[in-house]
A = this chain, B = another copy of it.
Amino acid sequence: MQSFIELSKIFADKFSIKHFPDEPDTLYSPAQYILQLGGKRIRPACVLMGNELFGEINPDSFYVATAIELFHNFSLIHDDIMDKAPLRRGMQTVHTRYGESTAILAGDVMLVQAYEYLNKMNPEHLQSILSLFNKTAKEVCEGQQLDMDFETKATVFLSEYIKMISLKTSVLLASSLQMGAVMGGAGIGSQEHLYNFGKNLGVAFQVQDDYLDAFGNPEKFGKQIGGDILANKKTFLMIHVFEKASKNQLTELNQLIKNNPTDKIEKVLQIFRDCKVDEWAKSLKEHYLQKALHHLDEIAVVSSRKSSLFELAEYLIQRES
């Protein structure tokens, strides 16, 4: 049994090769570029952990893990175009550096390359892995579309937001774990519990991310506090405050969103606090974390095999001390 950190390091070493041909360089350099920006390789490590939960690592799991990481980077390239994001990990995004057309194509060819890695597998698990991969890929596209739709929607309900965020981010974590379980020969019941562990953990992580953007310690968080508030982003907190606020608070919120005054962050945070949005978000995060851990408990393997998954949960979710 290897730890999450060990597995992500083992994967990162294997992954740091050239994944594309030399020519045309104008297409493949941009594709290789984003892979060299690094990243925590959480999802491919999930494939390996999901496998190891049920047995020795099947060498083909590295193909699956590589496909997952390429898929993730494909989605980052295309999402960055849609979001007009200038930077990723402090470096220029692919479209900023190479132009939008090349970024579209570099993403496309990365998705194809992901499938080519899957096709290197022994045929035994190919169809079930492809099926899971395709389902998840479509869901990630759906999540991104819903996220864009929400930008122009007046009211977004919490249930809609949870669905969107699950599709956009959690299902890839969940299905990475499940694919590992498939490779490890797990039964369908265990696969589903592991999937739901990942899915709920992903939602808990997103609640935390939204919380930290508003209430985090700027030094620890590493981003500007209140960025979501400034950008009028619909987040767990913003959606909840619209459900909780009094008539006066609603009027004030709408004014702040419309007029973008210089003290906007401070004033919105005050309304968040008055409506106890901070407390609510902490308990919502805890709720999803507990759901995740419950599914992990339900998997019928000895607890010692689950240590890397507990470690993953601890790594992703900060507990209040």
- Chain A contacts to B: CB under 8 angstroms: 24, 26-27, 78, 81-82, 100-102, 104-105, 107-109, 111-113, 115-116, 119, 123, 126-127, 130-131, 134, 137-138, 141-142, 144-146, 148-149
Contacts and interface: CB of A to CB of B under 8 A. Distances in A.
B108 A82 contact: no
Could you tell me the dominant secondary structure of chain A's interface residues? helix
Contacts of A123: 123, 126-127
Contacts of A115: 115, 130, 134
Q: Please tell me how many copies of the chain the complex holds.
A: 2
Contacts of A149: 24, 26
A116 B104 contact: no
Contacts of A146: 24, 26
A139 to B, nearest CB: 10
Contacts of A148: 26, 101-102
A104 B82 contact: yes
A106 to B, nearest CB: 8
Given A101-B148, A145-B102, A138 B119 contact: no
Contacts of A116: 131, 134, 138
Given A82-B101, A105-B145, A112-B141, 5 more contacts: A107-B108, A108-B111, A108-B141, A113-B134, A123-B127
Nearest to A104: B78
A82 B127 CA distance: 34
A148 B109 CA distance: 16
